[in-house]
């Protein structure tokens, strides 16, 4: 038996949670305390460590966004309107015998 | 004259009924299917038919209907015997003006009593003669 | 060396190319063949209007002065775009459903279509963007001066132009171009495909130019990135950060995140010009990638410039001067065109966006107030008024930009000007977030918050930017107004040891947010605000078609058409009325109009003149029946409730419907099963009663033995015994059937020789056949044949069918004929007789329970009518078929088909042997 409300509700929660990860880690990794951890005198690849770190985080965040944009959940054919206000789940109907 | 025509396709039941009723003093004849029953009813004019419902060739209720529609046999007493005993069988029998209804299996005494009561409820044609 | 004439003519030629591109794209879009123009790629490229000449030239300057801080300008937008799912998606969805034309329109519409708010936001935008436009003018003039060197022999006519004249010329040129392309018509959705195409093209040019100079510097004149760092260290340039990352980093990142949302040109391109919400999914990663590529070479170019250029060189112009000092004039010219691209694209889009805001939110409302509606006058054709006011606004914006440039021409770096702008438009962000997520936010709160933030920004950041050339300002900054130290612009309340930018952002955002919160809580929304709030905050919870009908009344169609025609033009107004089936000719002047249509008309008008103006216009046109406040409140509440419950109800009723359907089906099935079970029980009881009757009857007779002869007694007891046996057999059959019906077969299938089983079955039936004088003939036989079966069960089937054939045969010379053969991979047995056969009406149900085709007089046919049913089930479980067919003899013919056991293993054969 198809149960669109329950499944789309779950999917929505999943989707919001996943979509939140990329900007969240972006903000965290680019915060001054973390950046300053790398602001020392080392020169990996011949560039200052903080520069390498900054561009590394940038690339990671973009990669995350690419993955997200390709994920099935984020493709919406037509604007969905039911997904976000699915009814409070009513009692499940009995499984048909 | 024959008092009772037993119509029954089960040999063992037929034999037992014949024995019981003969022993009580009635004259008895037998038929083994619906067509034979109708033919015998017209030929020997029994006072009563003990009629099974599940019969080869013609069912008991069909036989009863035919009897009732024929003037010559319309007043013949008919007692229905059945192993099914559902309400709708009984109702169908009553609608066709059956005089009695006995469900198998029965006690021999019940059959004898029913036959006697019904035969006595109607004056013997012989008495008029 | 390039001559100024050549450089300026190249720039003019480039603008001509843009013009052509825009013209062709417009024509293509108009013919309905947008194709590539409406692709996510073009959308993403056009968003990169974010990267202006400030980025193009200034980023290197910033890198040279402040190290990695330049990257913060890109980090904010990157984070906003990778979080597109939460903010940008909602913005675009709302803008599409509400026909939003600008950021001012967005806030105005959300807060009850307030004109005051729209005017405030427009003013803030104008004030904030003016320095930004000035910045572009400055970048263009500086770059022209840098890239060209007058020969001084009088052959260069344009060389005599000074910086100010040059800037004026650029401003005029840009104004003409923008007017020609941005305001050709008042479009339904304020979308300008031609302009967007030109911007996207410029995005490619500036990226290529910057990458070209980057590759030139890194791989052309140096030996790769690490070589540049090594050289920088040798030259004594500091390659590590001067100061640890701190509040300034955070502030710049925050401002750039605000800017990419709230800058009018970004809102215009990202939200208003968006043709498909799905494009955002691509832009989410493609735009950050674009910025990444733009900035990969920034640091190396800055370091190389610092290491090699003479001290005192302007680092903002390194991208131009580095190719020039090595004599690569062509590259320098390309870079100049790249910078020119980034400046012109910003100017074009920003002035279009601002002109829409100015005309929709300031000019049109003023015009509507000033002139009563309903008088025929050529002057008041609103569509024309709109176009004219937009053109004037564009010219005005560029003029303002030029004036700012003129006033601040002696100021030093590019970057501070850009950040001043960013901090100004950032004042819109708190209200914007409240508009999207906080239902309770009120118009008064938004107005007060934005005003407070803006005033603090102007005091702490904007005014001090004039300090370098205005002694009054310098004094103010140093001592505070009237010598009040706590109000010093760059040290409010004594907060002195702080970067001025961070200081300003801190105080302005603090004032903004706290005012917004407090005033919102302290004031209440009017009805229209409540409705709009729920439309915005709950945009994903509502069906797209839902629009509350706020204006209600009895306007006549002619009045409405008059209004629509003034704004939309005759053609579009007529199309709108026709599509809604509303007559608009003079013939039907008093035709009533539905509230739905008025709501739709309002949206269409809002798409051209903004929601506040559209609302004013229509409330004026729809005479009399303005809805009462209480009614509006009620509508607002009902709307809210309807939104919340309608979907829940819809889903519930769908579920209930499908549940009911399933229950119905299940019930029908149960009833059917129930009826079958009743029939079965009724049949069983009938079949059991029959032998019971004889047994009981004879037993009673025997209870009085005196009357009976010995012979009779023996006979009666024999009958009782026979009937008991029959009863037992019936019970066995019923149990057998029940077992077969309840699923698994209760036996193991092994390879057995079916022919052998058939022979045994024939032998068993011989006795019965003899008794009935029936001849069993064996015809052609298959010989030995192995099938997967259980010997007992298979034998049961054969015996049942042969016995049936014997006992139902009443012909003169009764014969039962048995043949077997192979057919493909099957073993086939046919058992036929010359009896009466199966009457046609039984053919379909001969294998059902209790079906007896001929309950005739033959007393031996005492079967319950279950035999064939059981046989059928057994053969089924042997994966074979039992069917009634037409045989050689006139009577019935049953055919048994069984799959031959392929691996009739030698072991099985050996066992048999």
Which ipTM value was assigned to this complex?
Answer: 0.90
Q: Do A87 and C284 touch (CB under 8 A)?
A: no
pLDDT one-digit tens code per residue, B30-80:
998 888 888 888 888 899 999 988 887 788 888 898 888 888 888 888 999
Domain-ending residue, one of C442, C462, C479: C442
Q: Which two tokens stand for residue C898?
A: 């069984």
Residues B78, C200: Cα–Cα separation, whole Å = 105
Q: Packing angle between helix C415-425 and helix C247-262, nearest 10 degrees? A: 60
- Closest CA relative to residue C684, chosen from C451, C865, C478, C430: C865
In terms of domains, do C691 and C766 share one? no
pLDDT for position A16: 75
Interface residues on C facing B, Cβ-Cβ cutoff 8 A:
682, 685-687, 689-698, 700-701, 707, 716, 719, 722-723, 854-857, 859
B6 membership: H or E segment, kind and range: strand B4-7
Q: Do A90 and C93 touch (CB under 8 A)?
A: no
B5 membership: H or E segment, kind and range: strand B4-7
In terms of domains, do C765 and C872 share one? yes
Q: Do A58 and C659 touch (CB under 8 A)?
A: no
Residues C251, C792: Cα–Cα separation, whole Å = 91
In terms of domains, do C60 and C167 share one? yes
Q: Do C855 and B9 touch (CB under 8 A)?
A: yes
Rounded to the nearest angstrom, the minimum Cα separation between B4 and chain C is: 18
In terms of domains, do C680 and C785 share one? no
List chain B residues with CB under 8 Å of C707.
23
- Closest CA relative to residue C246, chosen from B20, A9, A31: A31
Q: Do C651 and A4 touch (CB under 8 A)?
A: yes
In terms of domains, do C337 and C424 share one? yes
In terms of domains, do C112 and C158 share one? yes
Q: Do C719 and B83 touch (CB under 8 A)?
A: no
- Are A41 and A51 in contact by the 8 Å Cβ rule? The answer is no
Q: Which two tokens stand for residue C153?
A: 């022999």
Residue B113 has pLDDT above 70, yes or no: yes
List chain A residues with CB under 8 Å of C249.
32, 35
Contacts of range C493-497, beta carbons closer than 8 Å, 24 or more positions apart: none
Q: Do C723 and B83 touch (CB under 8 A)?
A: no
Rounded to the nearest angstrom, the minimum Cα separation between C864 and chain B is: 13
Q: Do C281 and A35 touch (CB under 8 A)?
A: no
Between C86, C229, C245, which is nearest A46 by CB? C229
Q: Packing angle between helix B60-69 and helix B87-95, nearest 10 degrees? A: 10
Q: Do C690 and B9 touch (CB under 8 A)?
A: no
In residues, how long is chain C?
A: 913
- Closest CA relative to residue C677, chosen from C740, C731, C738, C727: C738
Give the predicted TM-score (pTM) of the model: 0.61
Query: Could you tell me the strand order of the sheet in which C881-885 lies?
Result: C775-778, C815-823, C826-833, C893-899, C881-885
For B31, nearest residue in chain C (alpha carbons)? C857
Residues C737, C179: Cα–Cα separation, whole Å = 92
pLDDT for position C415: 56
Q: Do C690 and B17 touch (CB under 8 A)?
A: no
Q: Do A90 and C241 touch (CB under 8 A)?
A: no
Is residue C512 situated within a structural domain? Answer: no
Residues C260, C262: Cα–Cα separation, whole Å = 6
A interface test, pick of C240, C301, C674 with most A CB neighbours within 10 Å: C240
Domain locations in chain A? 22-74
List chain A residues with CB under 8 Å of C241.
39, 48, 50
How far does CA C894 lie from the centroid of its chain? Answer: 63
What distances in angstroms separate CA C819 from CA C29, C200, C642, C716, C833, one per listed residue? 82, 87, 77, 42, 12
For C685, nearest residue in chain B (alpha carbons)? B84
Q: Which residues of chain C have pLDDT under 50?
A: 150-154, 188, 374-380, 587-589, 624-628, 855-862, 905-913
Is residue C732 situated within a structural domain? Answer: yes
List chain B residues with CB under 8 Å of C856.
33, 56-57
Q: Do C82 and A65 touch (CB under 8 A)?
A: yes
pLDDT for position C477: 75
Between C78, C226, C247, which is nearest A46 by CB? C226
Is residue C450 situated within a structural domain? Answer: no
Rounded to the nearest angstrom, the minimum Cα separation between A91 and chain C is: 10
CA dihedral C9, C10, C14, C17 (to 10 degrees): 80
B interface test, pick of C675, C687, C689, C707 with most B CB neighbours within 10 Å: C689
In residues, how long is chain A?
A: 97
Number of domains in chain C: 4
Residues C107, C831: Cα–Cα separation, whole Å = 91
Q: Do B86 and C682 touch (CB under 8 A)?
A: yes
pLDDT for position A96: 38
Phi, psi of C489 (to 5 degrees): -55, -35
- Closest CA relative to residue A80, chosen from A1, A25, A15: A15
In terms of domains, do C779 and C663 share one? no
pLDDT for position C620: 65
List chain B residues with CB under 8 Å of C698.
12, 16
List chain C residues with CB under 8 Å of A94.
659
- List strand residue ranges (DSSP E) for C801-847, in order: 815-823, 826-833
Residue C187, burial from CB neighbour count under 10 angstroms (0-12, 13-18, 19+): middle
Is residue C317 situated within a structural domain? Answer: yes
Q: Check whether the bond before B105 is cis (ω within 30° of 0).
A: yes
Average model confidence (pLDDT) across chain A: 67
Q: Do C692 and B105 touch (CB under 8 A)?
A: yes
Rounded to the nearest angstrom, the minimum Cα separation between B125 and chain C is: 30
Q: What is the DSSP string of C238-262?
A: --S-SS-S-HHHHHHHHHHHHHHHH
The count of CB pairs under 8 A between chains A and C is: 151
In terms of domains, do C772 and C803 share one? yes
In terms of domains, do C794 and C906 share one? yes
In terms of domains, do C734 and C752 share one? no
The bridge status of strand C815-823 relative to strand B28-31 is unpaired
Residues C862, C860: Cα–Cα separation, whole Å = 5
Query: C-alpha angle with apex C423: C422 to C425, nearest 5 degrees?
Result: 65
Strand partners, B81: B52, B102
For C683, nearest residue in chain B (alpha carbons)? B84
Is residue C654 situated within a structural domain? Answer: yes
Query: C-alpha angle with apex C160: C157 to C164, nearest 5 degrees?
Result: 125
Q: Tokens 């007789």 correspond to what residue?
A: C833
In terms of domains, do C723 and C825 share one? no
Query: Could you tell me the strand order of the sheet in which B28-31 lies?
Result: B28-31, B4-7, B48-52, B77-82, B100-103
Q: Do C697 and B105 touch (CB under 8 A)?
A: yes
- Closest CA relative to residue C335, chosen from C14, C674, C741, C796: C14
Residue C732 domain boundaries: 632-739
Q: Indicate which CATH number applies to the domain containing C716.
A: 1.10.287.130
pLDDT for position C552: 53
List chain C residues with CB under 8 Å of B11.
859
Inspect the structure and tell me whether chains A and B have 3 or more CB pairs less than 8 Å apart.
no
pLDDT for position C78: 93
For A94, nearest residue in chain C (alpha carbons)? C659
Q: Do C857 and B83 touch (CB under 8 A)?
A: no
Between C245, C648, C655, which is nearest A36 by CB? C245
Q: Which two tokens stand for residue C564?
A: 């629509």
The count of CB pairs under 8 A between chains B and C is: 73
Q: Do C698 and B16 touch (CB under 8 A)?
A: yes
pLDDT for position C585: 57
pLDDT for position C909: 46
> Which residues in chain B (30-89) have CB-CB distances under 8 A to chain C?
32-33, 54, 56-57, 83-86
For C291, nearest residue in chain A (alpha carbons)? A58
In terms of domains, do C715 and C780 share one? no
For A28, nearest residue in chain C (alpha carbons)? C79
Q: Tokens 């493609």 correspond to what residue?
A: C286
Average model confidence (pLDDT) across chain B: 84
Ordered domains of chain B (ranges, CATH): 4-122 (3.40.50.2300)
């Amino acid at each position: 038996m198809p149960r669109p409300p329950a499944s789309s509700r779950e999917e929505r929660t999943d989707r919001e949670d996943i979509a939140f990860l990329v900007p969240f880690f972006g903000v965290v990794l680019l915060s001054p305390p973390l950046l300053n951890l790398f602001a020392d005198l080392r020169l990996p690849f011949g560039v200052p460590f903080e520069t390498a770190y900054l561009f590394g985080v940038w690339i990671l965040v973009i990669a995350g966004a690419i993955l997200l944009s390709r994920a099935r959940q984020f493709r919406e054919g037509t604007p969905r309107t039911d997904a976000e206000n699915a009814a409070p789940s009513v009692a499940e109907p009995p499984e048909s015998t | 004259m024959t008092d009772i025509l037993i119509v029954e396709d089960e040999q063992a039941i037929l034999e037992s009924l014949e024995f019981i009723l003969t022993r009580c003093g009635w004259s008895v004849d037998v038929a083994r299917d619906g067509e034979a029953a109708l033919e015998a009813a017209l030929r020997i004019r029994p006072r009563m038919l003990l009629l099974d419902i599940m019969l080869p060739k013609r069912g008991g209720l069909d036989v009863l209907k035919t009897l009732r529609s024929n003037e010559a046999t319309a007043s013949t007493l008919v007692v229905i015997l059945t192993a099914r005993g559902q309400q709708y069988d009984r109702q169908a029998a009553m609608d066709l003006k059956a005089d009695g209804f006995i469900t198998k299996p029965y006690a021999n005494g019940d059959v004898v009593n029913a036959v006697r009561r019904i035969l006595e409820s109607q004056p013997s044609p012989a008495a008029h003669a | 060396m390039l001559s100024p004439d050549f450089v300026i003519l190249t720039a003019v030629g480039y603008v001509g190319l843009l013009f052509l591109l825009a013209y062709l794209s417009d024509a293509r879009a108009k013919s309905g063949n947008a194709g590539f123009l409406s692709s996510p790629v073009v959308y993403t490229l056009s968003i990169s209007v974010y990267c202006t000449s400030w980025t193009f030239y200034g980023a290197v300057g910033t890198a040279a002065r402040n190290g990695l801080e330049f990257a913060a300008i890109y980090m904010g937008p990157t984070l906003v775009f990778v979080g597109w799912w939460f903010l940008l998606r909602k913005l675009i969805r709302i803008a599409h459903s509400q026909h939003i034309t600008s950021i001012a329109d967005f806030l105005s519409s959300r807060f009850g279509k307030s004109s005051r708010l729209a005017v405030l936001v427009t003013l803030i935008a104008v004030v904030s963007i003016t320095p930004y436009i000035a910045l572009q003018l400055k970048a263009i003039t500086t770059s022209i001066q840098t890239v060209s060197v007058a020969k001084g022999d009088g052959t260069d006519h344009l060389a005599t132009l000074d910086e100010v004249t040059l800037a004026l010329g650029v401003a005029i040129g840009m104004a003409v171009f923008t007017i020609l392309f941005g305001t050709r018509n008042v479009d339904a959705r304020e979308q300008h495909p031609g302009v967007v195409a030109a911007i996207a093209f410029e995005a490619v040019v500036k990226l290529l130019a910057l990458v070209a100079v980057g590759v030139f510097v890194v791989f052309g004149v140096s030996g790769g990135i690490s070589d540049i760092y090594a050289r920088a260290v040798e030259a004594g340039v500091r390659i590590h950060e001067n100061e640890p990352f701190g509040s300034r980093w955070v502030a710049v990142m925050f401002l750039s995140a605000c800017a990419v949302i709230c800058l009018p040109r970004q809102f215009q391109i990202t939200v208003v010009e968006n043709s498909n919400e799905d494009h955002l999914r691509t832009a989410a990663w493609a735009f950050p990638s674009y910025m990444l590529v733009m900035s990969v070479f920034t640091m190396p170019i800055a370091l190389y410039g610092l290491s090699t250029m003479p001290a005192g060189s302007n680092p903002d112009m390194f991208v131009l001067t580095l190719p020039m000092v090595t004599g690569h004039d062509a590259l320098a010219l390309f870079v100049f065109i790249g910078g020119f691209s980034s400046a012109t694209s910003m100017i074009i889009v920003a002035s279009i966006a601002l002109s829409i805001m100015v005309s929709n939110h300031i000019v049109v409302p003023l015009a509507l107030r000033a002139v009563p509606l309903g008088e025929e006058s050529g002057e008041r054709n609103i569509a024309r008024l709109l176009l004219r006011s937009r053109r004037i606004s564009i010219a005005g914006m560029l003029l303002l930009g030029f004036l700012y440039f003129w006033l601040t021409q002696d100021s030093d770096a590019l970057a501070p000007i850009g950040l001043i702008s960013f901090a100004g438009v950032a004042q819109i962000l708190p209200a914007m977030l409240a508009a999207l997520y906080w239902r309770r936010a009120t118009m008064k709160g938004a107005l007060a918050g934005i005003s407070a933030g803006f005033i603090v920004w102007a005091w702490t950041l904007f005014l001090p930017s004039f300090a370098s050339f205005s002694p009054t300002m310098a004094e103010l900054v140093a001592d505070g107004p009237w010598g009040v130290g706590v109000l010093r612009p760059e040290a409010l309340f004594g907060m002195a040891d702080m970067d001025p930018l961070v200081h300003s952002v801190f105080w302005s955002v603090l004032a903004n947010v706290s005012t917004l919160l407090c005033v919102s809580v302290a004031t209440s929304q009017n009805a229209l605000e409540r409705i709009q709030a729920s439309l915005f905050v709950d945009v994903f919870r509502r069906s797209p078609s839902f629009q509350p009908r706020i204006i209600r009344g009895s306007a006549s169609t002619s009045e409405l058409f008059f209004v629509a025609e003034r704004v939309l033009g005759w053609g579009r107004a007529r199309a709108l009325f026709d599509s809604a089936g509303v007559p608009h000719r003079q013939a039907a002047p008093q035709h009533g109009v539905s509230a739905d249509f008025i709501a739709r008309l309002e949206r269409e008008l809002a798409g051209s003149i903004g929601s506040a103006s559209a609302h004013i216009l229509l409330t004026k046109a729809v005479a009399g029946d303005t809805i009462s406040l209480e009614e509006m409140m009620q509508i607002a509440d009902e709307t809210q409730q309807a939104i919340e419950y309608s979907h829940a109800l819809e889903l519930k009723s769908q579920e209930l419907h499908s549940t009911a359907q399933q229950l119905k089906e299940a019930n029908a099935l149960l009833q059917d099963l129930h009826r079958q079970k009743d029939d079965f029980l009724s049949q069983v009881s009938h079949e059991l009663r029959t032998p019971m009757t004889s047994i009981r009857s004879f037993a009673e007779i025997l209870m009085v033995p005196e009357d009976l002869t010995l012979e009779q007694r023996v006979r009666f007891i024999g009958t009782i015994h026979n009937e008991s046996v029959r009863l037992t057999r019936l019970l066995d059959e019923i149990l057998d059937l029940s077992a077969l019906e309840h699923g698994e077969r209760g036996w193991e299938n092994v390879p057995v020789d079916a022919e052998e089983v058939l022979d045994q079955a024939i032998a068993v039936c011989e006795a019965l056949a003899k008794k009935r004088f029936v001849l069993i003939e064996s015809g052609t036989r298959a010989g030995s044949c192995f099938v997967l079966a259980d010997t007992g069960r298979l034998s049961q089937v054969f015996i049942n069918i042969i016995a049936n054939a014997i006992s139902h045969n009443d012909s003169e010379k009764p014969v039962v004929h048995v043949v077997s053969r192979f057919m493909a991979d099957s073993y086939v047995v046919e058992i036929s007789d010359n009896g009466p056969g199966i009457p046609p009406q039984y053919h379909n149900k001969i294998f059902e329970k209790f079906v007896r085709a001929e309950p005739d007089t033959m007393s031996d046919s005492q079967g319950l009518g279950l035999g064939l049913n059981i046989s059928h089930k057994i053969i089924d479980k042997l994966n074979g078929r039992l069917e009634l067919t037409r045989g050689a003899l006139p009577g019935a013919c049953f055919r048994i088909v069984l799959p031959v056991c392929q691996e009739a293993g030698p072991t099985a054969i050996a066992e048999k042997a």
